[in-house]
Amino acid sequence: MTPHSCKIGVRYPVLVTSSILNNWQGLRSINGYPGDPIHIEYISIPGATIRDLHHAFRAEYGNTHRPVDVILCSGLNDLIAGSSSDEIMQDIYDFSKTVRSICLGENRAYWSSFAAATLPFPPQLVSLCEKDRKLKHNYRNTLVNITTRIREMNRGDKHPHIPTDMAPCFHTWGVRIMQHNKVIGPANLMENFADHRLVSWKGTKPKQMLHLSDALKLKMGKSIVTYFKVIYRITEDSFRSKNEALAHRSTKAKK
């Protein structure tokens, strides 16, 4: 039995996203991506807010009788529309309640799960070094707040079998990280941000850069696939933390 035929018969893995990961596979004839190794379902609406995606999810899966494992990657459109960090997080919590209300029963192993990926810090919305580039509305602090709260939510999930704390963290993508002497250590701390890697973003000027390049978008999508493989325990070398993964990588490099 393949992972596809085994897993899709029990649970639905679903990526819900706005334009951040819309059409992330790109032109497979050019980039060589062979396709998802397991079946994953997608709700993808460019320009959508979290509430829009929540509505679409309810329309599609509201009456399902199987558990659903959702990962959400959205929120930048909410920022652009003027939503605060509190409003965005409330919309995420409301979405999570809907997902977790699906297929509740005495057997907790069959409960649905919800996680959110942290969001990139686009040059169009964020200036990491204000002395070099000032924005009329710099959303850095708002995104820092949202990132912290998303990670706390993922770690605080009470599902007995789905490790939602393994959800991808995209807040470091397209950002230059300050170098440290430590070989092993967390690489996703926001206080380590130095500046943007402008070559990693679409557009020719920072004010146009809202989305990561097609190459990085493909890698982001692959990390979503890896997340589902990890929570379904069908992948090798899955780690509980980035420290553990870095330590493993360092050990392998010395061999």
Question: How many CB atoms are located within 10 Å of the residue 41 CB?
Answer: 14
Domains and CATH numbers, the chain: 3-254 (3.40.50.1110)
Query: Is 217 buried (19+), middle (13-18) or exposed (0-12) by CB count in 10 A?
Result: buried
Which H/E stretch holds residue 226?
helix 214-231
- pLDDT for 160: 81
**DSSP-based three-state secondary structure for 14:** strand
Question: What percentage of the chain has pLDDT greater than the value 70?
Answer: 81
Q: What is the biggest distance separating any 2 CA atoms in the chain, rounded to whole angstroms?
A: 57
Lowest-confidence pick of 3-17, 108-122, 132-146, 240-254: 240-254
Contact 82, 133 (CB under 8 A): no
| 150-201 per-position pLDDT tens digit | 999 999 876 788 999 999 999 999 998 776 555 444 545 666 787 899 999 9
pLDDT, residue 57, reads: 97
- Please state, for a pLDDT cut of 90, what percent of the chain lies above it: 66
Strands 113-116 and 175-177, bridge-based pairing: unpaired
CA distance 76 to 20: 8
- Residues 37-57 pLDDT 10s: 999 999 999 999 999 999 999
What's the N-to-C CA distance of the chain in angstroms?
A: 34
Specify the pLDDT at position 84: 97
Q: Which of 6, 92, 28, 60 is nearest to 221 (CA)?
A: 28
Instruction: Fill in the amino acid letter for 245.
Output: A
Count of CB atoms situated within 10 Å of the CB of 96 = 21
Q: What is the pLDDT of residues 76-119, one digit of tens each?
A: 999 999 999 999 999 999 999 999 999 877 777 788 999 999 99
Determine the Cα–Cα distance for residues 245 and 5; give it in Å rounded to an integer: 29
Q: Considering the chain, what is the average pLDDT of its residues?
A: 85
Would you give the DSSP letter of residue 153? H
pLDDT of residue 166: 92
- Cα–Cα dist 227/229, whole Å: 5
